[in-house]
Amino acid sequence: MNKIKKIIGRITDIYTEDISLNEDFINFAARFAHMNGTVILMSGGELDSARYHILAAKPWLTFTGFRNDMIISADKRKFHFKGSPFGTLKKIINHYGSQVRELDIADMPEPVYAGLFGYLSYDLKDALEKLPRTSNDDIQLPHSVFFAPSIIIVQDKTTSATTLCIPVFQNEEGLTLDATLDTFRKTVNREALIEKSFSGDAAGFKSNFNKSEYMDAITKIREYIAAGHVYQVNMSQRFEMGFRGDPYSLFKTLYRNNPAPFFSFINAGDHQIVSTSPERFLKLRGNIVETRPIKGTRPRGKTQKEDHELKNDLQKSIKDDAELSMIVDLLRNDIGKVCAAGSVKVKQHKILEAYSNVYHLVSIVEGRLDTDLDAIDLIAATFPGGSITGCPKIRAMEIIDEIEPHRRHIYTGSIGYISFSGSMDLSIAIRTATVYKDKIFFSAGGGIVFDSDPLDEFNETIYKGQTLMEVFEGKVRQPEPEDYLWFNGRLQPVKEACVPVTDQGLLFGFGFFETIRADKGKPLYLDEHIARFNNTWGNLFDSRPPDLTWDSIINEVIAKNRLTDKTAAIKILATRGNRETPPFNNTLIVMARPYIHRLEEKKIPGIKLLTYPEVRQSPLASHKTLNYLYYLLAGRWAIKMGADEALILNPDGTVSETNTANIMLISDKKVLVPFSEHVLPGIMQKALCDVLLGWGYKVEKKVIKPADLLGGEEVILSNSLMGAVPVMSIDNHTLPMPTDLCKRLKGTYRL
């Protein structure tokens, strides 16, 4: 932290300026939405909790955490360290909070003028409690993301007063105000942004539960309740869909359709958060703590009569009243851990809040924070919110992790700000979506008690998800054509192909493959590839190879994948299966994908090699087995180090091959092929050697050392996809300019 403090410097002032907007706040904020680190908090509707719009942009500090791996970024530098997410937050808040509190400033805008803006994911529960982690963290986004903005704009909806706030730093480069003001003015003086679009898959959202699975999960929770484990559990399902377009346009559309008090947009760089939450988790003003749990939901009616009946049903529901009361008691206990004795009270109970698609029951619980405790202590005592876990909280969270197949991440975590002046406002992240890697994810759930009806609970999640689902109606993109493969005798979509988990190909890599190039529907060197395939089958599987007309199968796969007029890479793959005696149940697969020559794709004249530091010695190298991880890692290492391929050495330090190709050293009309005790004979390499023999070259297999490659005339790599390509450098030693040999060879082999 000391290095970070030195880089950033000291907050010496808070610059404020009253500004006038010529457009709606949401359109004004759009000018900043594309910037990494922008957080936009919009207060929709007319409830008393919906007063301020806030924009936070251009962060001078970024804090992210994943488990106990912390990263703080400042001044284009990153600092990695191990630590507690809450402890790190506390250090940041205390350090810069003490500087802000020492300033002689007055008339600062409510509710925040300097601080941290971002999110706490639900999975931070594991930093507070020792809990089993049995659900899959398939997205693996940070558990906490916070930005300290150099630009904060606060608009009071009741007066339309809008204030710009900029923290001013004194550091080694001087005061920072001018540069920040310049960025702000250039951004706001640009022409109004053109409205962008967004779309989802035509098939719509897909859940990680089907209907019967979700209802079975509700039944299991009821059994836990009957057995005395818990009184209530919040159960959810996650929806996923492909996403294209602008996440902020999605945010704007949702806000216009159904404004709620805690709308949030976070541009976290590689992912964006879009939240339409109606629920406050924690508010801190001075030393007054407030939480507003929501329990009890009904959809809005299609007619006035139906709407009135649904509202009355919610207000009179004994089940929903008991559920809300239970969570109110849990939250009273949670905030009571850090509030003065006797100060915690229920200010209001069972308030009915109406939204465009649902009714909710809400309560307000207040307390007075103990002296010497702060916002981070309050979060640690109450996180995650009891309204979205269950009661008792710890056992409920264990059951959630057991039943829900995926980690929740942002869902039921918190979004908002923690100010350097001591105030805080965090929402519960429900009705919240994450856009990441051309996908959109969101979850919807509800509190389950013993009286819960599984079908009703399933339907409630659909009601709650309607706002996010319906916004994509009419905004779908045509589905991409499906990819097909030949799988054990029939063509089927790739996504439907399943290999049993007990297949030894999956368990041990017990299998092998052939990769074949096909030009305009014609597979090249097919007989040679199938001969090698059959030889490996006999050596590894000790049985007769399959009797198949491979060219017919390959042509079917090429045609089905729309590759008849293109260059394709064909892969034939075989696994051992799980039977030890005949009849064996091998898996046979034929796949096809478009292929672009690597020199054409990278627009480079040849290949750069780096010697992989891990030598290889394995009899499996004599075959193209599925145990291919060594080569995959070698190739990734080379690319990470700035090369194109990894040069693979034998245990004695002599040359073997590269991670994808065979090597030939050309010298004095000789073709020298490296000798290895175990190496896969190359089909393309043999074809090239046959051509070169016809041109008067001598072909010799011999032991070659890495230094020998530097002393020859030319080094050539070959495989069945790319043919022959020249090597330009080895271990950063530039080789002589390649001759036209590869070009002349290209005219002779069948590519």
Q: Which is it for strands 645-649 and 655-658: parallel, antiparallel or unpaired? A: antiparallel
Quick one: 621 and 501 in the same domain? no
Q: Residues 252, 295, 393, 624: which is the catalytic one?
A: 295
Please say if the pLDDT value at position 457 is more than 90: yes
Quick one: 464 and 498 in the same domain? no
Residues ≥6 apart with Cβ < 8 Å to 476 = 199, 200, 201, 202, 204
Residues β-bridged to residue 201 = 477
Quick one: 525 and 467 in the same domain? no
Residues ≥6 apart with Cβ < 8 Å to 596 = 567
Single residue among 444, 476, 508 that ends a domain in this structure: 476
For residue 751, is it within any domain?
A: no
Give me Rg for the CA atoms of the chain: 32
Q: What is the pLDDT of residue 173?
A: 66
- What pLDDT band is residue 175 in, cutting at 50, 70 and 90? low
Q: Which is it for strands 358-368 and 69-74: parallel, antiparallel or unpaired? A: unpaired
542 touches 697 (CB < 8 A): no
Q: What is the pLDDT of residue 80?
A: 94
Q: Look up residue 229 and give its two tokens.
A: 């484990």
- At 325-363, the pLDDT tens digits run 989 999 999 999 999 999 999 999 999 988 877 888 999
As a whole-number percent, the residues of the chain with pLDDT over 90 amount to 78
Please say if the pLDDT value at position 550 is more than 70: yes
Q: Look up residue 583 and give its two tokens.
A: 């009849």
Report the candidate in 666, 662, 690 with the shortest Cα–Cα distance to residue 676.
Answer: 662
pTM: 0.83
Instruction: Kindly report the average pLDDT of the chain as a whole number.
Output: 92
For residue 351, is it within any domain?
A: yes
Q: What is the pLDDT of residue 162?
A: 96
Residues 586-609 have a mean pLDDT of: 94
DSSP state of 113: S
Quick one: 155 and 26 in the same domain? yes
For residue 233, is it within any domain?
A: yes
Report the alpha-carbon angle 282-370-5, nearest 5. 75
Distance, in Å, from the CA atom of 416 to the CA atom of 40, rounded to the nearest integer, reads 9
Report the candidate in 67, 61, 69 with the shortest Cα–Cα distance to residue 117.
Answer: 61
Quick one: 577 and 684 in the same domain? no
- Which string of b and e fits 513-538 if b means at least 16 CB within 10 Å? bbbbbbeeeebbbbebbbebbeebbe
714 touches 739 (CB < 8 A): yes
Q: What is the pLDDT of residue 149?
A: 97
Largest CA distance in the chain: 99
Residues 700-725 have a mean pLDDT of: 94
The number of angstroms, rounded, from the C-alpha of 418 to the middle of its chain's C-alpha atoms is: 25
CATH number at residue 94: 3.60.120.10
For residue 68, is it within any domain?
A: yes
Please tell me the least confidently modeled range out of 108-122, 362-376, 465-479, 632-646: 465-479
For residue 406, is it within any domain?
A: yes
Single residue among 575, 595, 615 that ends a domain in this structure: 595
- The single-letter code of the amino acid at 369 is L
Please say if the pLDDT value at position 133 is more than 90: no
Please tell me the least confidently modeled range out of 349-363, 510-524, 557-571: 349-363
Quick check: is 279 catalytic?
yes
Quick one: 605 and 591 in the same domain? no
Q: Residues 90, 252, 279, 393: which is the catalytic one?
A: 279
CATH number at residue 644: 3.20.10.10
Q: What total of structural domains would you count in the chain? A: 3
Quick one: 591 and 613 in the same domain? no
Distance, in Å, from the CA atom of 331 to the CA atom of 344, rounded to the nearest integer, reads 10
- At 80-102, the pLDDT tens digits run 999 999 999 999 999 999 999 88
Please say if the pLDDT value at position 483 is more than 70: yes
For residue 501, is it within any domain?
A: yes
Quick check: is 173 catalytic?
no
Q: Look up residue 638 and give its two tokens.
A: 């080379």
Distance, in Å, from the CA atom of 375 to the CA atom of 92, rounded to the nearest integer, reads 12
Quick one: 614 and 562 in the same domain? no
Helix, strand, or coil (residue 77)? strand
Q: What is the pLDDT of residue 174?
A: 61
Please say if the pLDDT value at position 590 is more than 90: yes
Helix, strand, or coil (residue 429)? coil
DSSP E strands in 43-94: the ranges are 52-66, 69-74, 77-82
Q: Look up residue 442 and give its two tokens.
A: 């969101």
Quick one: 542 and 623 in the same domain? no
Residues 283-311 have a mean pLDDT of: 91
Please say if the pLDDT value at position 2 is more than 80: no
- Does residue 662 or residue 8 have the better pLDDT? 662
- Mutual angle of helices 318-336 and 375-382, in 10-degree steps: 130
Residues β-bridged to residue 426 = 282, 416
Quick one: 431 and 508 in the same domain? no
For residue 573, is it within any domain?
A: yes
Residues 237-246 have a mean pLDDT of: 96
Which sign does the torsion angle of CA 385, 388, 392, 394 carry?
Answer: negative
Single residue among 453, 476, 499 that ends a domain in this structure: 476
Q: What is the pLDDT of residue 357?
A: 75
CATH number at residue 531: 3.30.470.10
For residue 669, is it within any domain?
A: yes
Quick one: 118 and 214 in the same domain? yes
Q: What is the pLDDT of residue 750?
A: 60
Quick one: 231 and 361 in the same domain? yes
Q: Look up residue 286 and give its two tokens.
A: 């001075």
Range(s) of the domain holding residue 495: 484-595
